[in-house]
């Protein structure tokens, strides 16, 4: 028996309920529709075992802390996701058990660095990596058209032709496609070289989605929209930044920078640990604790979070409070950990 797949939103932004043997996963839920999902899950007498996100979304609000509790299931995302609300980080090839079925994670960066597709026999949930006759835009921060071309043509197009494609969006009322149909008919990829694809994506000139900045900031920080009292950083790359390698060297110098870690306390002592000697000031408390940091106002300072997104907001806060020598750790603790520099837990 194959799992049953149901799309629950019936709009151009798609959420899938996938179930078999009385257990279910929910893929890409939209925050304001959670009460509906709960009713749908109860009506089918299913037990929700996980929430799977295909990537850090920029066009809708993802689960809040409260709605996570309402759904009562762990949230799964790729390890490069900046969100503090993820319970299980996965990487390419990891498996998620769903009853008698196994869902395999395919890391397919391009739309975002943390984009994944969830694959199981006969079906693949492609998020915004592959759309029906299209593909997700690659002009958001961290987007990369060349990587997306590679992910689609080498990973997704390697799946059997009859694999059903369930996209994250569709703007023309279409519901599903197949890998075979996309290989033949998707004009973005069919007969196109990687360079042609990169040129095509670079020339799309799409407008920004409504409220993208708020959606990104809320989704990246895990705070509620009314709690987001920090400055909006339009472009993470616009704040001064330092690489993990340079920071590690500077920490060994005669005048090391102060390192301020703006993650949640659980993350500070969690899997990635923290940079030895760093000060923990969670982003939501930063504004309040500025007086305590006043002694460091003339010192070089580096702000750190998981992936470098929340810390970019912190840099903006600190700069406007007069901390002139503040920098963002590029790629956050993920890049520090990838470089295998020392951490404390």
Residue whose CB is less far from Fe ion, 57 or 107: 57
Residue whose CB is less far from Fe ion, 107 or 263: 107
Nearest distance from C-beta of residue 111 to Fe ion, angstroms: 6
Taking residues 87 to 126 in sequence order and writing x for each that binds Fe ion by CB under 5 A, - otherwise, the string is: ----------------------------------------
Residue whose CB is less far from Fe ion, 51 or 262: 51
Where does the chain show beta strands of DSSP type E?
4-7, 16-20, 23-27, 47-52, 75-78, 88-90, 95-98, 101-107, 116-120, 123-127, 130-131, 134-135, 164-167, 177-178, 241-242, 258-261, 279-280, 301-304, 326-329
Q: Are strands 258-261 and 301-304 parallel, antiparallel or unpaired?
A: parallel
Piece of the chain touching Fe ion by CB under 5 A; list 24-32, 53-61, 218-226, 308-316: 53-61
Q: CB of 41 within 8 A of CB of 17?
A: yes
Total number of residues that touch Fe ion (CB under 5 A):
2
Give residue for tokens 């069919």: 190
Q: Is 261 in the site for Fe ion (CB under 5 A)?
A: no
The footprint of Fe ion on residues 127-186 (CB under 5 A) is 128
d(CA 59, CA 1): 35
d(CA 226, CA 221): 12
Piece of the chain touching Fe ion by CB under 5 A; list 15-23, 52-60, 93-101, 142-150: 52-60
Give residue for tokens 């020392």: 342
* DSSP classification of residue 270: S
Q: Which residue is nearest to Fe ion (CB)?
A: 128
Nearest distance from C-beta of residue 25 to Fe ion, angstroms: 19
Piece of the chain touching Fe ion by CB under 5 A; list 8-16, 57-65, 75-83, 205-213: 57-65
d(CA 158, CA 22): 31
Nearest distance from C-beta of residue 125 to Fe ion, angstroms: 13
Listed in sequence order, the residues at least 6 apart from 265 whose beta carbon sits closer than 8 Å to its beta carbon are 280, 282
* DSSP classification of residue 272: T
d(CA 144, CA 138): 6
Nearest distance from C-beta of residue 60 to Fe ion, angstroms: 9
Element (H, E) at 313: helix 310-320
Residue whose CB is less far from Fe ion, 9 or 337: 9
Nearest distance from C-beta of residue 58 to Fe ion, angstroms: 6
Nearest distance from C-beta of residue 86 to Fe ion, angstroms: 16
Residue whose CB is less far from Fe ion, 57 or 78: 57
Residue whose CB is less far from Fe ion, 19 or 137: 137
Residue ranges binding Fe ion (CB under 5 A): 57, 128
């Amino acid at each position: 028996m194959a799992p049953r797949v149901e799309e629950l939103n019936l709009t151009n932004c798609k959420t899938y309920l996938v179930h078999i043997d009385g257990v279910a996963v929910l893929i890409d839920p939209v925050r304001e529709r959670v009460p509906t999902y709960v009713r749908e899950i109860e009506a089918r007498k299913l037990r929700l075992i996980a929430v799977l996100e295909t990537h850090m979304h920029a066009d809708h609000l993802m689960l809040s802390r409260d709605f996570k509790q309402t759904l009562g299931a762990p949230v799964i995302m790729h390890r490069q996701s900046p969100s503090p609300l993820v319970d299980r980080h996965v990487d390419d090839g990891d498996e998620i058990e769903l009853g008698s079925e196994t869902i395999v994670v395919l890391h397919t960066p391009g739309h975002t660095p943390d984009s994944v597709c969830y694959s199981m026999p006969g079906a693949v949930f492609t998020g915004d990596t592959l759309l029906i006759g299209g593909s997700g835009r690659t002009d958001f921060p961290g987007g990369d058209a060349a990587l997306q071309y590679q992910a689609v043509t080498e990973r997704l197009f390697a799946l059997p032709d009859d694999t059903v494609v369930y996209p994250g969006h569709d703007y023309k009322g279409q519901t599903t496609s197949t890998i075979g149909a996309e290989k033949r008919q998707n004009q973005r990829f069919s007969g196109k070289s990687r360079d042609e694809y990169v040129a095509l994506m670079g020339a799309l000139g799409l407008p920004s989605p409504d409220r993208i900045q708020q959606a990104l900031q809320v989704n990246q920080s895990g705070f509620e929209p009314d709690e987001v009292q920090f400055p909006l950083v339009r472009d993470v790359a616009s704040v001064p930044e330092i690489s993990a390698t340079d920071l590690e060297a500077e920490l060994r110098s005669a005048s090391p920078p102060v390192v301020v870690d703006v993650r949640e306390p659980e993350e500070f002592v969690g899997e990635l640990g923290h940079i030895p000697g760093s000060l923990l000031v969670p982003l939501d408390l930063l504004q309040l604790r500025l007086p305590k940091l006043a002694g460091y106002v003339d010192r070089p300072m580096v702000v750190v979070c998981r992936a470098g997104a929340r810390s970019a907001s912190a840099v903006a806060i600190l700069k406007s409070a007069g901390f002139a020598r503040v920098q963002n750790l590029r790629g956050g603790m993920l890049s520090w950990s990838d470089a295998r520099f020392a951490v404390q837990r």
